[in-house]
Structure 1
Amino acid sequence: MPHKAVASPGLPPLKLLMCASLALALAACGGGGGNPGAVSGGGSGATPGTGGGTTAPAAPSLEVSFVNASGQSTNSLTAGTPLIAKATLRDSAGRVIPEALVTFSTDNKLALFSPSAGTALTDANGVATVTMRPASLGAGGAAKVSVTTTVAGATVTGERNYSVGATALTLSPITLSPASIPAYGSTTISVDVLANGARYTAQQLTVNFSSACVNAGKATLAATATTNNGTAQAVYRDLGCGTTDAISISADGADRPVTATLPIASPAAASVQFASAFPVEQSIVIAGQGGNLRTETATLKFKVFDIFNRPLQGQLVNFSVNTTDVKLNKASDTTDQNGEVITTVNSGTKATTFRVTASLGNGISTMSDSIVVTTGLPVQRAFSLSVGSPNIEGWSIDNIKTTVNVLLADQFGNPVADGTPVAFQTNIGAVGSSDKGACNLVNGGCFVDFRSQNPRVATPGSPSTPCNGVTPDSTRPGLASVCASTTDGANTVFARTAIFLSGSAASNVYLIGRTAPLTSTATDLGSSRSGDGKVFTLQINDINNNPMPAGTTVAVTSLTNASVVDVVPSTVQNVFPHNATADDITGTTVSGNQGSFHQVTVIGNAPTPCVAGTVATFSVSITSPVAKLITSYPFKMTLTCP
């Protein structure tokens, strides 16, 4: 039955009408006296909840839209026209929801978000926004933006398609301010990045700068610059390029680079300096002399600098020399990219010194260091050979060493070149080292070791040496001939020395004045008054009548009725081979006994009081320095009372 609006006592007509309307609404929603929860609709007998008049509850929504920077609706994205993606969030009743976290996502090969995380909170109007830009200037295609959020634990999503158009860029002509510069001046280089003929300001781009002078290190220019409001600028500064430079600018996305030319004035020469000479010791040899590691040509280098003390290219330099005794090979030269010029000078036939002058056309000049012209070749008369000890205890002991020293000079008395090799050979023992029987000169000198070993008796003429090619070596047992030589391939200079391999036993000792050697029988020195000194001299030789080793000691021992005053010398000194009249360090004229002489002084002391003659006895003991072998010879003399 239809409801009627019944007037209630005491209610105004307006309120009565409102109540009637409310009653009708409640009736439509199943209220107004019906069973709670019953769904109206359908006809009589309709099943609850299945009637055709039932409506499903509404769900929250997330709607996506795009606008450009001007607020116009569009879904077309380019580098010049970024998009703003907007996501509007409403609840099931259509009311906006503020402060909800919304996440945006898309194909990052086509577009990028700002902020880059792709998240935003809805504002008071329920709208979350992010800005979209192409991933690159060349990016193009279509994609969609997906958005998602959570409302009351339920996930709400939305999406919208968009397109990306690639952006073609061009570069404006280059602007130079000023258009030309003086030496070491500067200019500002500017270029605009254009999109469709207008400066591209949507985002900053990197612009690349280069030039020939910059690549050569003769100018400075930033390699890149970032656009500001579509324009990129860089400062070019000259470092002495001195020519017209070609400047090139390019940018990613631009269809082609642009170029410009910059005239640069040449810098003025301010100085010329002497740089170096070769050989570094500033010495060359007389023409035709040659020599190991020596040259007849001196190479001199000069360097030209500008007013900023930087090397200057393309400058003409003239050369002159202060003597006619050498030949200047090049009278002028032009500086290279390092500001350098060279000239060469050849030696003449005289020993001399010289300097080379380098001059510029503006009157600036400088001189080289002094260069010496000398021979450098060793000469025979300046070949010096010596040994550390000429008598070593090597007759019966191996590996006793001494040094063999060599000194060489040229015809002017100057040490010959470092590195000049000197070879050594010997007919007894061994000389040199395991890697070579030679040494290389340093400051005109060097040395090698000689050591004792077999053979100890020479074979005549073996080995063949430059020395015995002129004079035969000695074949005396225990006397080594050592030959040192050097050659430049045409001339050979050499020298010879000799070394005794002395025995450890004093086998041949002579009392001066007698011809027979001493024996183990006491040698009678005759008579002497008690208290008077007795002086006698011994010549001490080894088994080969060669000297005992240097360092051998001579002493008076086992005295009876006598006391020793002195033995002079008390040790064997260095003894060189000799003949009857002089030393011969080469050993080629050695003759006779080679032993050393020692003067012995003793005093006979008869018992006091001296009532009858008596006999004084003692021995002379000779001890070798290495083996410590002692050889003793007894003596006696008759003492008379004073």
Structure 2
Amino acid sequence: MIKGWLRKTIHCTATCLLATALIACGGSGGSGDSDGGGFIGGGQTTDYTLSLKLGDNNDPVELKSGEQTSLTVSLTEGGAAVSGTVISVAASGAQVEPSSLTSNANGEAVFTLTAGDASGAATLTASVEGPSGTVEESVSFNVIGRAPPELGLKLVDLSRQPLAEITPTKKGVLEVTVSGGESAAVAQQVISALTTIGKLIPESGTALTDDTGYTYFIIEADGSDGAGTATASLTVGEQVIEASLNFSISSRLPYRLNVTLLDAQDEALSVVETGETVIVSVLVAHEDSGEPIANQLVSIAAGDLGAVTPTAGTTITDEAGVAQFKLAVSQTTGTFEITISATFAGGSAMERLNVDVIQANRSLGYFDNAGDFVEAVLLINPDKELSPGGSASITLGVVNDAGERVTSEETVTLSSNCLLSGAASIEPSSPVTFVGQTALTYTASGCSGNDTLTATLESTGAEASGVITLSEVIAETIRFEVATPEIIAIRDTGSASDLSESAAVTFQITDIDGNPVSNSRVNFSLGQDIGGIALYCQNDAFCQYSSNSDAVAGRSTRTSDRSDLDGLVTARVLSGFVASPVRIIAYVDLNENGKQDEGEPASSSKSLVITTGLPDQNSVSLSASVLNIEGAYEADGKQAIITVRMADKFNNPVPDGTPATFTTELGSIVGSCLTQAGACSVEWTSQSPRASDTVDRYSAPITIFENIDNDTPSRYRCPSHLEAYGPCPDDIGDETVNPPGAPRGGRSTLLVTAIGEESFIDKNANGRYDEGEYWTNLTEAFVDHNEDNRYTPVQRDNCIDPVAADDVCLAGFEEIFTDYNFNGVFDLNNTPSAAENSSLPDGLFNGVLCQPEDAATGICSRELLSVSDSLVLINSFSNADNFTLMAINSALLEPTALQGGRTYTLYVADVFNNPPSAESTISYQGSGRCDVITPVPTIGDTSRAGAFAVSFAVSTADGEDATAEPDQVSILLTLPSGSQTVRTYSCDVEEPPEPVNCNDPQFSPPPAACQA
């Protein structure tokens, strides 16, 4: 406090006592003027006096740091106030503003004084330039400084829970708090931090405190292990305040990788064999809890152990946390290392497994016709002499020590003297790699005599051999040239599949030098005679027929012909009624006795394939690139790619060039395509028509609002809720769901048809339809507009006159069918009727796999028909105003308000009750004390009739005070176009209890809250 004036007076008087001194004082002893005005009469200088006063009339005892008061400096001369003179003030331990002022009329200058931060004495010094020099005066007072701020330091995790150890998966948060008394500033303070271990973020090591005095640093594991110290510091003036804490870091990841080798039966293996295919199974789990980790990328490195599948060496764990790789073990024995690794947030985990590979026990030989294995012997066919240039089929197989055909790849090297000299060749060339069994073609090209062929198994050294006898007939050889085509159709199906039912198999006869030999008689026979496969032969005694009808048709079991000038001779193979491979055996009949004698050159063709080439009903599949097409109801030109895939009874892709025909209910579609590799595609495009003319004229598509629209029928009823309108997850146009049914809007049925056969269950696996086998009977194909699986104009009653027809009839009134037999009538193909109590359908099986004798007796039919498939496209909207969102509660009603802790079902549909298109999104926005706690749903691509449905749960902050925002939930639908619509529901929230006045006399007895 200030208690009064502090006055210090300094008189500056100079008297010249001596003449020399008078001269030094600026005069010669007289009263003349001087530049400084240093003399006033009698030889005495003017006296300036400075007086300093702090505050108002009180002596200052002490000021607190930052406290302000006034400093008044008075200047007098001989007791009179001096005005207009500049007075300066300097300060130590305090601040004075301004640093100088001009004295006023009272000779005073008033300054503002602010006490400094540091405790201790502060000094103020005022100065003025007087006539005789500088005049100064000082005053001191005591400053009580602020208490220094305090620095708090904690290490917590990202959830702000105390943390003692940092790991790769658990970062540390260094929480720094600046606090201080006496209004010390805590905001926007620069905090410096450093750590002796781990990685500090930010790397600058500095951060500013927020308005509450907090700031944070992140400490991450850096691969090191041990303990360290984190230090934070704050500089205040010249004082540095520090705080430290100790912590530890571990580089250990909390995950484990368990690696197991499994065989094909999922049995664990301790060792593996060369050439074996095994499973490397990796379990990824949490170290402590053992909980599996799904969808984790796992990598494998097998080195020289073998080849890994997938070849990229990576795969993803399943829901059980298991990732599996196939490993084809190499042929090298020894101990190898498998390295398994997985990268997690915070680092990588790795596991190594040593695998011992032992030599596999393998035997080489062949399987005879009974399926028995003949060890160490090669099967050579034909086993007759081969002429130079002739070929033989060499069959060999590999078994394990249990006599079972191996399932892993094996490599075999073949050798013989003729092969070594180049006088014979093997196709494919040696060494050859195969699984279980293979066949090769041995071709002689100048060798004669006996050629011992030896096959050596690379993995074990096992051998098998056989002797090929090469004809000494120097002038003649026969070899297979070509088969055209290599794939032919089952008999009587070629016209439907565009495949030929026969193939020309050509051989060439040459002499020992490879020159063509003409006019040589060559006899042909079938390698296998099943299902009526034949060789064409007529007007030759060599022909051999199974029946008179075969004789008429020239279908023989053998045939003969002579080579032309180029040495070429051809036999024609005729397909039978069974899908099968077939080879042709040919030999040169040197003595023309009609049989193969010893020494006559022989050869075999490559395999031909006989198949139906026709799609069967259950192998026709129609798909679309998009099923729910946004904007197709509103705009032309929206497109979808429609793809059909077709296969035959044996699920082989139909031949290239098989035609498929398309029809659509609405929009337009390219009419046909030709298959490549069993599939082909066309484009569907949105345009008119977009609805049925008949429905528009005599009725209307059912909508979700028609019960509240007086201009539309009232047909709406939703089995899934009790509201009279709105989106419904059920197909409200289906007569079985919402009787009596109604036309649907915005839906287009597409149909694809092809010529094919019905599907059947081949119980005895003979590749043919047999009496009593179950099949699917087909009507003629039709475009099913009303999606009732019936051809409405024929298969529904009272659908002839649209005026009298019901809604379902009207919806299918414009259906069209594929008139396969061009008789102008929709054929049900349901005659004859099935026997009483039979599980078989009415009608007959239709297909080329009906045996001719069964067709002749009426058991089945070889006539073809239309096979088909269909799908529905939704012509959707791009404007979200056409969609409605509705929540339904457990009472199957739309709630007036949502309740916390309850689950609701959200239904979303357009006006026709179709779901929104794929990639549309639904989002929830809570407000006030109400929110949705269910994840955002995904809307898939579907053409299913009915609204999109998803459940959501609501939570409310019951008992809490209301906020400025309303208690409600908004549900937003956003279409891929960006168009949006929203539905908002209020929430019922329990209000906090009213405060109780326990002194209120109306309470008798007092409330429980007042009795505590």
Query: Which range, TM-score by smaller chain?
Result: 0.3 to 0.5
TM-score, length-scaled by structure 2: 0.31
Higher relative contact order (CA 8 A, sep 6+): 1
